[in-house]
């Protein structure tokens, strides 16, 4: 099965749980971790896109910051839940089912796009395809925020990777056990900050790189005329 279907199947099987449900206070911890960084970038009326939004905990949080927020995810189950929450809250958030590597938007549709903690699901080629799209979709001076962990900083000296790491694809084999459902494959690409920066910078301009946790980083790119090589 292609990796994209494997990951979608895993997220549909895991569905919505307390830490991902925007209506459950246990999901707030994740949101709070990133709120203070996003608050500095989001201004009222800004059109924002949450890439890989799941059930929308961060999408709703960005709406609360004043943004006009859209979330996209290829897992149908969490998106349907996000839509129900939006309806109940009378929220203006839009949620669409789709692959972030082939977005259905035209030029100048968003002012900010955020990829929060899910770069590992993208292959190296997919991040480049996403960056090319964002160059088009984001407004002039629009912002692309990547929140990611550096796998080298995280794993250095701690694990024997040989059994689970595919050197050529840069992909870790991993499994996730979902209670009452079984064990699901959840492959994960090993990203470093340097490599992500190298790929996105071909198309967007790096404005800021900040370490926000033990091995977590926030990268802020801007869509400026003339940046990028393609
Ligand atoms: C770790 S979760 C992050 C969830 C979300 N950012 C949040 O705050 O709850 C990763 C999400 O990214 C989605 N995802 C991964 N690759 C994707 C792709 N290529 N297109 C759309 N969604 C994707 C998964 O379905 C999953 O919901």
Is the shortest distance between the CB of 52 and ligand 1 below 6 Å?
yes
Residue nearest atom 14 of ligand 1, based on CA coordinates: 52
Most ligand 1 atoms within 8 A of CB, residue of 3, 24, 52 to mutate: 52
Q: Which two tokens stand for residue 198?
A: 């190298």
Along the 230 residues of the chain, how does pLDDT read in single tens digits? 778 888 899 999 989 999 999 999 999 988 999 999 999 999 999 999 999 999 999 999 999 999 999 999 999 999 999 999 999 999 999 999 999 999 999 999 999 999 998 999 999 999 999 999 999 999 999 999 999 999 888 877 666 666 777 767 777 777 888 888 888 887 788 899 999 999 999 999 999 999 999 889 999 999 997 665 44
Q: Which residue has the tokens 């979330």?
A: 71
SS3 category, 9? helix
CA distance 214 to 96: 33
Residue 228: predicted pLDDT: 58
Give the residue carrying structure tokens 């669409």.
96
Report the residue among 79, 93, 121 best suited for mutation to probe ligand 1: largest number of ligand atoms under 8 A from its CB: 121
Cα 70 → chain centroid? 13
Which residue, judged by its Cα, is nearest atom 6 of ligand 1? 53
Whole-number Å distance, alpha carbon 186 to ligand 1 midpoint, is 12
Query: What are the residues whose beta carbons fall under 8 Å from the beta carbon of 188, sequence distance 6 or more?
Result: 120, 121, 171, 172, 174
Give the per-residue pLDDT at 77: 97
Q: How far is the CA of 100 from the centre of ligand 1 (A)?
A: 9
Ligand 1 mean position to 52 CA, how many Å?
3
pTM: 0.91
Please state which CATH number belongs to domain 3-220: 3.40.50.150
Residue 81 to residue 118: CA distance in whole angstroms: 19
CA dist., res. 119 & res. 19, Å (int): 19
Ligand 1: centre distance to CA 226 (Å): 30
- For residue 66, CA distances in Å to 1, 37, 63 come to 40, 15, 5
- 219 C-alpha to center of ligand 1: Å? 18
């Amino acid at each position: 099965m292609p990796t994209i279907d494997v990951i979608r199947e895993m997220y549909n099987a895991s569905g919505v749980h307390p830490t991902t449900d925007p209506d459950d206070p246990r999901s707030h911890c994740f949101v709070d971790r990133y709120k203070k960084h996003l608050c500095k970038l989001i201004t009222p009326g800004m059109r924002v896109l949450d890439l890989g939004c799941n059930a929308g905990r961060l999408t709703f949080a960005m709406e609360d910051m004043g943004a006009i927020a859209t979330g996209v995810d290829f897992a149908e189950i969490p998106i349907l839940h996000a839509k129900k929450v939006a309806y109940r809250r009378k929220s203006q958030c839009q949620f669409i089912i789709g692959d972030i590597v082939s977005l259905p938007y035209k030029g100048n549709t968003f002012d900010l796009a955020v990829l929060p903690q899910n770069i590992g699901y993208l292959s190296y080629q997919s991040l480049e395809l996403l960056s090319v799209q964002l160059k088009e979709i984001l407004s002039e001076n629009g912002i692309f925020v990547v929140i990611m962990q550096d796998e080298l900083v995280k794993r250095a000296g701690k694990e024997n990777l040989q059994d689970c790491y595919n050197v050529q694809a840069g992909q870790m084999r991993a499994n996730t056990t979902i209670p009452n459902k079984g064990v699901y494959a959840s492959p994960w690409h090993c990203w470093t900050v340097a490599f992500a920066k190298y790929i996105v910078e071909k198309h967007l301009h790096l404005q800021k790189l900040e370490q926000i946790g033990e091995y977590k980083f926030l990268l802020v790119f801007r869509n400026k005329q003339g940046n990028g090589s393609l």
